Structure 1
Amino acid sequence: MSVAVMNPIVQSSAASALLQLDEPEVILQSHALRILNSLADSFWPEISPSVAKIQDLSEKPSFPDAKLASLVAAKILFHLGDLDEALAYALRAEELFSISDATEFATTLRAKCIDEYIIMRNKPENETANDGKAQGIADDLGFEENKRMAALEDVVQKVLDSCIKNGEVRESIGVAIEAKMHDRLEQAIQSCASRDERIAALNYCFECSQSLVASRRYRAEVLKLIADMHRREEDPDEVALANCLSFLEDAERLAELLEGLVMSDDESKRLAAIQIAFNVHDNDTPRFFDKVVALFVSKEKTEGEATTEDSTRKEARQQIKDILSGSIPSSLTLDFLSNYSKADSYILQTIKSTQDSRSSVCHSALLFTNAIMHGGTAIDSFLRDNLEWLALATSWAKFSATSCLGVIHARHTASALNLLSPYLATQGGASSAYSEGGALYALGLMFANGGSQKLQRPESATPADGSGTSEAVTASEYLLAALRRESGNEVVQHGACLGLGLAAMGSWDGVDDNDIYEELKLTLFRDSAVAGEAAGLAMGLVSIGNGSEKALEEMLTYAEETEHEKIIRGLALGMALTCYGREDDAEEIIETMSSSKEPILRYGAMYAVAMAYCGTADNKAIRKLLYTAVTDVSDDVRRAAVICLGFVLFRHPKQVPKIVALSADSCFPHVRYGAAMALGIACAGTGLASASEILERLAADPSDFVRQGALIALAMVYMQHSEARTPKVVEIRKLFEKTIGDMHEDVMTKFGAILAYGIIDSGGRNSSIALTSLSGHRRMTAVVGLALFTQYWYWFPMVHFFGLALRPTSFVALNKDLKLPVLEVQCNTRPSLFAYPPMGPPKKVKAEEKAPVAVLSVTAKALARESRKEKEKAKAAASASGVEGETPEKETKPDDMEIDAVTKSENEKETPSKAEATKEEPTSFMISNPSRILDEQAKSVIWPKEARYQPVRTDGVRGFILVKDTRLDEEEKFVELNSLATARAPPESGSSVETSVQVSSAANEQAGLDEGSEPEAPEPFEYVDEEPADGEN
């Protein structure tokens, strides 16, 4: 017996329910609402005309199903696109609004609810009340706002509970941080089952604090919570904890952590302490380093209390002090860059041969390119090999040429005075004021990244202060003495001020009096335009980031009183540097400078915004810069406003092309130039196609300086990109080459193209622009260096600041003695993806030979007939004239339709096929210690588990990595590096040929050549005596 199964009724209309909604009985209305609730997602167009009735029912206190009416109204309003009203009615539905449903309505309003709650939580206190009073709104509105806030919080709490229950810890962490719910943040992290999961959650929380939190104060609160939770772990992650303390600049706790690790009996803990020291130094906060070192030294035991067991600890403690002071990182970095440089001197020689030696602009550009290309490598062979060309530099060009040595020999502090002695009068050198000023500037560039080591004087040198003592002094003390001595020469003062500002960068905390700052202020008050500009800039470098009200007031007052534009510009930039990292605390001085009638001060205000909010992507800062870019009457201010967008947004490079796209199409060339530089700064090393598209268009701009900026920015974007990784880089390099070789190109555009070659191959192709440390901290020196590099618009020597923005993309593994053991790591990518560009002249591509023409027998017969007729005519003509003609050759009769055989040449027979010539590239390869590892490449590098040396940290292979030896019974092998040359620098431009020969001989000795040795004979070659062509004698 079969049973009939009835099909379910499919609702085709909501008309019946809508009719019941008009009934006066409450029961029918409630029944209608239940039906409409189930049909709302499908029949909302039919229901929408009755939404007003449903809203009325939801607002009636006497209606029993008012919450249900609110839910139905919310669904209809949602489908109509009114999300704000839909959320309001959904909140009135209270428990009927289910956030766990997987419908589009529930998920969208849930996200909207979270966003609204975050906005309200982040509103300044009393903002809502003030707005209400201003508009005359009744006091009961405050109660409604409080009810709305409570309803939103209830939904968010349910969302967080759901996330924690489902194991979605990262989602709950993100919501809790943005909503400022510390208790729920801690609860989410504690919900992790294992220690590794909690550490991973804390690390993710740290990342969120850098990317999601805009307020500096609230970021500090989150970091304190993370640090406290790290400390509560039984086995804490010391490196992650130290990273938090470094961001908080909590020197006391960091020193305690280092001391505890050093005193541990576990070797891994001591290695972790050394690794922490390297990480902290990479964060680039000089004042913080000094505090940590001072506190760390205060905890050190006295010699009398030390025991035999403490020798290892004492060695580790000394290593940590040397690392934090910068001496060990600088030495290791210098060794890596000098030994593994891949700078291509052929490019420099090619540029030199194509440029007019009479053009001082191109001459200076090539000097800058050489300096940046060899930045930090201590390789100055190009200058030594081209002394006559170098002698063409005069006046301020000589100043720039001499200061180039500071970029090339950056961190080469041990031989600083020996290298620069030919230019320093106090070191026995007979130099001009321009050379001496450039040498003092170079000294500051060497020590800007070189730590706080003492200067080592040459034996024949005399102290800068003229005293008879030869005690070692710091670079700051030496330059301060030089500034005091040269009170009458503004050129030397200019170099001394810049060098002093670099050597003492960030040394003043703004609290106590500072001798360097006061001496710079005295130089400023002499009202010399040349010296005053550098003094104002140096005052900002010394007080960078301290926000000193005293310093800001003094600089602003003098800038408003002086008539020298150079001094105003130097002070404006100095004030901007003082605001570094201050965020909201810098708003007062920014507003004061922005409202000034002096355009140079408004120009400085844009850089103050950039420095105060660098890397924060703060909406308020972005709006201010964009507003100024379109409203200010000064071209310089508009240009600066667009450039500074790159600094504010450098953590979000993919957003910058969208933001500056309209500026790149502006009718003002200064704004277009600013857009190009902003893209170069924010997108450095990314190779973003969207950025390249805009920059390539700007590289063909009608304005020469816009093309200049676009070429420089293209070089920044494509730093360290290979052809296999980014094929576009080949076209970019050809664009540089074409621009440099074009005789009709404007000199300013050529300047940009020449400089671009140095930038794209920075630091021997082993360095790249890095505005953040490996742990995510802003690198103060790099940000300042790139900001001041953009000032080359006014003053070419500012190009040298570019070297401060570079960081080696290196992998350097170190053992407990800070030596480089022989080891390898595996990279799971094709070698060509991250390979160096080819060096030397480009390989000439052999032209393809044309295929021989096949001759048909029919054609051969026709040709034979023609040939026979010609010969018969010639014979007849010869017989008529009495001259005997030649006997015709026997005709060869080819077969019909036969194709003549084609004989291949010898070369063609030997050439292998294309398939045979192309070898299959491996998918992985081994990287030895030390080597270049790019940021993108690091994701594919793994540490072999069976390797003898294992890293202390397994979360990265960039920078300095401490490794532990797991086979103590085996003998260690170490990497041998060549020692650096310490010869004196090339002589100044006016030196005699005899002196030049002596310096060249010294350079040859360093290269391993004896003075009397002869160079090797050239390769044997075959000489071909070509006969002259027709018409040539």
Structure 2
Amino acid sequence: MASAAVAKGTGMKKGQGEAHATLTSAQGLIALLDEDDDRLRAHALKQLDRVVPDLWFEVSSSIATIEALYEDESFTERSLAALLASKVFYHLGELQESLTYALCAGKLFDVTERSDYVQTIVGKCIDEYVKRREKAEVSGEEVQIDSRLEAIVQRMFSRCLEDGQLEQAIGIALDSCQLDLLRAVAEHGQFDKDLLTYALNVCKNLIVSRKFREKALRLMVDLYKQLPQPDWVVISQCLMFLDEPAAVAEILRDLLSKDADSVLLAYQIAFDLFENEQPQFLSRVSDFVEGASKAVAVKEEEGAAQPMDADSQDATPSGAGDVKQEASGAEDPSLDKLQSILQGDVPVKLHLEFLHSKTKTDYTILKNLKASVETRNSVCHSAIIFANALMYMGTTVDTFLREHLDWLARATNWAKFSATAGLGVIHRGQLTQGQFLMAPYLPSEGSSGSPFSEGGALYALGLMHCDKGKVIRDFLLQSLRNATSEVVQHGACLGIGLAALGTDDEEVFEDLKNALYTDSAVAGEAAGIAIGLLSVGTGSDKTEQMLAYAHDTQHEKITRGLALGCALISYGREESADALILQLCQDQNPILRYGGMFSIGLAYSGTMSNFAIQKLLHFAVSDVSDDVRRAAVMCLGFVMYSQPDQCPHTVALLSESFNPHVRYGVAMALGIACAGTGMKEALAILTVLSKDAVDFVRQGALIATSMVLLQQPESKVQPFRKRLDKIVSDKHEDVMCKMGAIISVGLIDAGGRNVNIRLRSRNGFPRLLSVVGLAVFTQYWYWYPLSYFLSLPLSPAALIGLNDKLEMPKFDVVSKCKPSVFAYAQPVESSGSILVGRAPTAVLSTTAKAKARQAKKEDAKKSSSGEAEKMETEDEEREKQQKEEEKKAEEEKKAKAAADATEELKENPTRVVPSQERHMQYLEGSRFTPIAGGSRSAGIVLLKDNEPGKECEIVSIPVTTEAPANTEPPPPEPFEFNSNLD
């Protein structure tokens, strides 16, 4: 009777067996759940489990009964009841409840099933497990994790291994912060270099906890070393992040002691480490390399000094001891070259030569800008000087300033300070003659020069020697000690902060602290920023003294400088900076909360940390201070620059805020996060903001747009140039907006159109100097001279190939795309438009033929009239005109050939913009190939010579880097006076 009741209640169709039943209602099965017989209830649960995907809406009405069956400990099929309850809750959208009952179902929850239910709940399970593991890893406390949750994750991990889905297994291992699982993947037997690269990218971009990221990178280093051919470049990058200079020095020393290819690889590692802009790490690596060399030399000398027995003395050839001693004492040229790279001498020189020789800055643009702006407008006057500094950044070309000295002399007071500082940007990298170049402006004994020029010159020296200021350190310190004017103190503080960046030098700190304690608003602000630059990224306890003085002083400028200094000290510290962040964010002083926003942005820069993003968004919409809200939105750019495509979606709603400060922050956030990407989503938001009703919002949008469009194809940039042209030439435009347009003009053509903004190196690690430079540049809102920090993140977009002698051999690479796509902008006409280049004039062959026919007709008329002399003159003119037309036709032919070309040969060194890198290829059978693999298409690349015995032509780029020894004219040649001559 029970079977009949089941058949009747389930609506089984007549003539069908029970195995092939199609249910139209679950009411009969649901009724069986109330029976006393456990077998009937178990049967009902099994059948309901099969039909719940189709009839869950009926089963959900009895969810209480199903839950009661699970809670009945005497019921033998409790796990089945839990599984059914989990599926019902899944269909109801209650995923947390569904996960809870899925855990209670135990092994009945089959992770190998391919249904949407299993995939969703497994994902939820892994997310919950990862969340708890992350909490335990970040807080360092023990967090209780359900063993059933762990069992499901383990089963899912095993399934990934069995199915060969190793990337998913790596994701589970790293997301759940379990290195033992990652080792299990490595021991699986298929862990090759591609999988290691994937795991490394996950470590760099997706792991939240810094502590676990460091543990994972240490494991990555071990796994990379176990490869048949270890990738020493990647290993060195990981060790740099782990702050282990001794290990990097050991790798470099080991490579130097091997064959020629290994020596080249050591040079390549050193150049790659330099690109990460970690000057203090490189300095320690250099010290370890030098120390190891001295230790080896001492050991060899001690070995040579030990007495030998008679037999060995007899066996030793005469003079061999002397040769060995000379060899041990001789200098190692490869070691000297490595040290010159680590200390920055070679890469800085190469960048200087490249920017000097390849500059394509259009001088006419600056002349047109100068002519279009009223001479009495000091804001635009200073903006043009700044634009000139950016356009010629690092090129050593100061022609515009020299030719317009009268116009330049109109700058007074702080404008003169800024104009002098601009020379430091133009001559950036002139390490050997920086002091000589700035000598006319620098303070000296008995001089009565302008303190604004003297302060600006000291600031310029800092910009010139940024993070490589050993040569200039003592001079700047002495200038700071001797300074009696707060203006000179201001320039000296900024200069020494830049020159000693990241050194945490105690002597420099004491002098800066003395300048701070003078309680001068001007000098104190610079001293606060300089202390932050000095100890950037160290997490130093100096912040306690800085915050104490920030609360004591009455000057807002000093408080702001100290707040920014604290933010710089917390750079890259992540969760270890949380205590400082909390203290700043909870302060009643809005200026210190402003510093708290930058502390979040810099501490978590490039991490995509949810904690940081949520914190910034909270302050962006809730703080009572406009400055804090603007800074909070702006700092989203620093947190998100590692994944720039996420930033436009995050700030899209904020761009429609009623508060103009928030809208300005959105513009700058997009400029920072999406710099050099040309991202359409970012440009769409910035285009709207550039038409905002508020002038400073338009200013920020224009500057940010130029940052995003930097080094993009001219087809993208041309419409923006036209917009800038219209704004600059419009006499009725607001000064703030016009200032932003002029700065944008300089930035879009920065460094002779050969530089780009990169906040991450090509290996994916943050670039300290670039991030710090942008952070301080944003303070131009309060203090215009700080805008020159924008030169710090500008780095050459170049391919520079070097041989084993660190010379540039002459060789070609091919760009597999149309030359016109990445060509330089066309030159601008001297009149008319200010910024937009002229289009090339096309001369058709039919036009030339028509002119020739017309000329023949005129000749016939003139011959009949007998005007021979006139005809002869006209013949000469016509021949001249014909030659010009032929020349134009030839140029047209060349232009057409270039337009039709699908690839382009480029000589070493050459400009390679970021979007062009994927199109660059080395010629097949080329004599020179990259030592670190064929994928390197930009940066400084060490080249292996495949024909070492053959003579090679070297590219020479002369740049004056030494001060002239004698500026006096040469003496006249000796002569004899003869009085007998008439």
- TM-score, with structure 1 as normaliser: 0.80
Name the amino acid aligned to 2:276.
N
Q: Could you say which residue in structure 2 is the equivalent of 1:38?
A: 50
Displacement of 1:309 in angstroms is 7.2
**Residue of structure 2 in register with 1:959 after alignment:** 939
Out of 615, 619, 625, the residue aligned to residue 606 of structure 2 is 615
Secondary structure at the aligned position of 2:192 is classed as helix
Which residue matches 1:387?
405
Distance 1:274 1:126, change over 3 A: closer
Once the two structures are superposed, residues 38-94 of structure 1 have per-residue CA deviations (whole angstroms, 9 ceiling, x without a partner) of 222233233332333333223322223222222222222212211111122222222
Provide the rounded CA distance (Å) in 1 between the counterparts of 2:826 and 2:448.
42
Give, in angstroms, the shift of residue 373 of structure 1: 1.4
Distance in 2 (CA, whole Å) between partners of 1:391 and 1:569 is 31
Does residue 169 of structure 1 match 2:190?
Answer: no
Q: Is the 8 A contact 1:812 1:929 kept in 2?
A: yes
Amino acid corresponding to residue 790 of structure 2 in structure 1 = F
Q: Distance in 1 between matches of 2:473 and 2:128?
A: 53
Letter in 1 for 2:175: E
Pick one of 819, 822, 838 that aligns with 1:831.
819
Matching of residue 479 in structure 1 with residue 476 in structure 2: yes
Secondary structure (helix, strand or coil) at the match of 2:906 reads: strand
Q: Does 1:843 align with 2:838?
A: yes
2:473 and 2:893 mapped to 1: Cα distance?
A: 63
Change in CA separation of 1:381 and 1:129 when aligned onto 2, cut-off 3 Å: closer
Q: Distance in 1 between matches of 2:749 and 2:839?
A: 23
CA separation of 1:111 and 1:844: change in aligned 2, threshold 3 A? closer
1:743: which partner in 2? 731
Distance 2:894 2:828 in 1: 27
The residue aligned with 2:571 is 580
- 1:427 Cα offset (Å): 9.4
Q: What code does the residue aligned with 2:256 have?
A: V
- Displacement of 1:683: 1.1
Over 3 Å counting, the alpha-carbon distance change for 1:816 and 1:429 in structure 2 is: farther
Mapping 1:334-353, distance limit 5 Å: 334-353=352-371
Alpha-carbon spacing, 1:526–1:917, altered in 2? closer, same or farther (3 Å)? closer
Q: Cα offset for 1:915?
A: 14
**Change in CA separation of 1:69 and 1:838 when aligned onto 2, cut-off 3 Å:** same
Contact 1:338 1:980 survives alignment (8 Å): no
Aligned to 2:504: 508
Aligned to 1:538: 530
Distance 2:447 2:186 in 1: 64
Q: 2:487 matched to which residue of 1?
A: 491
Q: 1:956 is matched by which residue type in structure 2?
A: R
Q: Matched residues, percent identical?
A: 42
Of the three residues 236, 260, 263, the one matched with 1:270 is 263
- Aligned pairs (5 A) from 1:164-203: 164-193=161-190, 198-203=192-197
Q: Which residue of 2 aligns with 1:470?
A: none
- Distance of aligned partners of 1:970 and 1:126 in 2 relative to their CA distance in 1, 3 Å threshold: closer
Given candidates 550, 554, 574, the residue that maps to 2:545 is 554
Aligned to 2:513, which of 521, 524, 544? 521
Distance, in Å, in 1 between the alignment partners of 2:414 and 2:726 is 29
Paired letter, 2:838: K
Please tell me whether the aligned partners of residues 712 and 913 of structure 2 are also in contact (alpha carbons under 8 angstroms).
no
RMSD: 3.0
Q: CA deviation at 1:660?
A: 1.8
Who is 1:289 aligned against? 282
Q: Rate the CA distance shift 1:923–1:55 in 2: closer, same or farther, 3 A.
A: farther
1:712 corresponds to 2:703: yes
Partners of 1:480 and 1:73 lie apart in 2 by 74
TM-superposed deviation, 1:22: 4.2
Q: What are the residue-to-residue correspondences of 1:753-772 with 2, within 5 Å?
A: 753-772=741-760
Structure 2 unpaired stretches of 5+? 1-14, 302-323, 830-836, 844-884, 970-982
Deviation at 1:19, TM superposition (A): 4.2
Deviations 1:731-753 (A, max 9, x none): 21111111111110011110000
Note closer, same or farther for the CA distance 1:669–1:6 as it changes in structure 2 (3 Å cut): closer
Q: CA deviation at 1:837?
A: 2.2
1:433 counterpart residue number: 451
Q: Are residues 405 and 228 of structure 1, via their aligned partners in 2, closer, same or farther at CA, if it must alter by over 3 Å?
A: same
Q: Deviations over 1:693-724 (max 9, x none)?
A: 21111111111111111111111111111144
Partner of 2:431: 413
Tell me what 1:931 maps to.
Answer: 910
Deviation at 1:846, TM superposition (A): 8.7
Matched, 1:921 2:904: no
Summarize the Cα distance change of 1:667–1:767 in structure 2 as closer, same or farther, 3 Å threshold: same
| Residue in structure 2 matched with residue 882 of structure 1 by the alignment | none
Partner of 2:956: 976
* Counterpart residue identity of residue 480, structure 1: L
1:859 is matched with which residue? none
In 1, Cα distance between the equivalents of 2:92 and 2:327?
77
Give, as a single letter, the amino acid of the residue that structure 2 aligns with 1:979: V
Instruction: Give the aligned residue type for 1:498.
Output: L
Task: Give the 3 Å change call, closer, same or farther, for CA 916–617 of structure 1 in structure 2.
Answer: closer
- Asked if the contact 1:14–1:36 (Cα under 8 Å) also holds between the matched residues in 2, the reply is no
C-alpha separation in 1, matches of 2:395 and 2:367: 18
CA distance in 2, matches of 1:844, 1:768: 25
926-935 vs 774-783, which moves further: 926-935
Report the secondary structure of 2:565's partner residue.
Answer: helix
Conserved in 1, the CA contact under 8 Å of 2:430 and 2:961?
Answer: no
Say if 1:57 and 1:830 are closer, same or farther in 2 by CA, change over 3 A.
Answer: farther
The alpha-carbon deviation at position 517 of structure 1 amounts to 0.7
Partner SS state of residue 832, structure 1: coil
Give the Cα separation in 2 of the matches to 1:731 and 1:561.
Answer: 51
Distance 2:327 2:806 in 1: 20
Query: Does 2:680 align with 1:668?
Result: no
| Aligned equivalents of 1:666, 1:775: Cα separation in 2 | 37
Counterparts of 1:398 and 1:744 in 2: how far apart (Å)?
27
Q: How much does 1:591 deviate?
A: 2.4
Equivalent pairs, count? 874
Which residue in 2 is equivalent to 1:627?
618
For residue 413 of structure 1, give the secondary structure of its aligned residue in structure 2. coil
Answering whether residue 202 of structure 2 is matched by residue 208 of structure 1, we say: yes
> How many angstroms apart in 1 are the aligned matches of 2:942 and 2:806?
8
SS of match in other structure, 2:809: coil
Distance (Å, rounded) in 1 between the aligned partners of 2:575 and 2:614 = 15
Query: 1:536-576 deviations in whole A, cap 9, x for unaligned?
Result: 21111111122221x11221122211222222222121121
After TM superposition, the structure 1 stretch with the greater mean CA deviation from structure 2, 426-435 or 411-420, is 426-435
Distance of 1:501 and 1:404 partners within structure 2: 17
Amino acid at match of 2:216: V
What one-letter code is carried by the residue in structure 1 that aligns with 2:495? G
Shift of 1:411: 0.7
Distance 1:731 1:918 in 2: 24
Q: Comparing 215-224 with 302-311, which one deviates more in the overlay?
A: 302-311
Are the aligned partners of 2:469 and 2:500 in contact in 1 as well (CA < 8 Å)?
no
Q: Which runs of 5+ in 1 are unaligned?
A: 131-141, 454-473, 849-906, 985-998, 1003-1033
When structure 1 is superposed on structure 2, of 749-758 and 617-626 the one drifting more is 617-626
CA-to-partner distance for each residue in 1:567-595, whole Å, 9 max, x for gaps?
A: 22221211211111122222222222223
Which residue in the other structure is 1:642 paired with? 633
1:855 aligns with none
Partner secondary structure for residue 271 of structure 2: helix
1:101 partner SS: coil
Query: Partner letter of residue 463 of structure 2?
Result: L
Residue 377 (structure 2) aligned to one of 327, 342, 359: 359
Give the secondary structure class of the aligned counterpart of 1:807: strand
Residues 75-129 of structure 1: CA distance to partner in whole angstroms, max 9, x if unpaired? 2221221111112222222222111122111211121111111012122489999
Output the amino acid matched with 2:338: I
What residue number does 2:642 align with? Answer: 651
Question: d(CA) in 2 for partners of 1:96 and 1:952?
Answer: 55
Distance in 2 between residues matched to 1:797 and 1:981, nearest whole Å: 27
CA contact (8 A) 1:14 1:39 kept: no
1:411–1:129: structure 2 CA closer, same or farther, 3 Å change rule?
closer
